[in-house]
């Protein structure tokens, strides 16, 4: 079988994502997710659209397990100073 698990973060050919589906023949790696517009999501089973790569078992040796990427988007540029009042 294979050594992958669903949700595992991996890198494949400079594409970073997570394992979304596993079978004996191939895995899929989700590299991007988009939230559907409200009008579309209302009539959909899933509110998110995904872009996935299909990687066949003969290329699994090129899939590298990678730690989850941490993205810090914290910024104090537009933060207001708040004074604590007792």
Q: Using one digit for the tens of pLDDT, what is the confidence trace for 38-68?
A: 888 888 888 889 999 999 999 999 999 988 7
Put the strands of the sheet holding 26-35 in their side by side order. 48-56, 26-35, 15-22, 9-12, 64-65
Q: What is the pLDDT of residue 42?
A: 86
**Cα-Cα end-to-end distance for the chain:** 62
Whole-number pLDDT of residue 60: 95
Supply the pLDDT for residue 45. 87
Band of the pLDDT at 1, cuts 50, 70, 90?
A: very low
């Amino acid at each position: 079988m294979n050594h992958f698990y669903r949700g595992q973060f991996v890198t494949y050919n400079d594409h970073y994502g997570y394992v979304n589906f596993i079978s004996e023949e191939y895995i899929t790696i989700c590299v991007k997710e988009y939230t559907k517009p409200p009008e579309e999501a209302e009539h959909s089973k899933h509110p998110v659209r995904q872009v996935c790569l299909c990687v066949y078992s003969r290329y699994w040796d090129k899939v590298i397990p990678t730690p989850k990427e941490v993205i810090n988007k914290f910024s104090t540029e537009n933060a207001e100073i708040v004074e604590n009042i007792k």
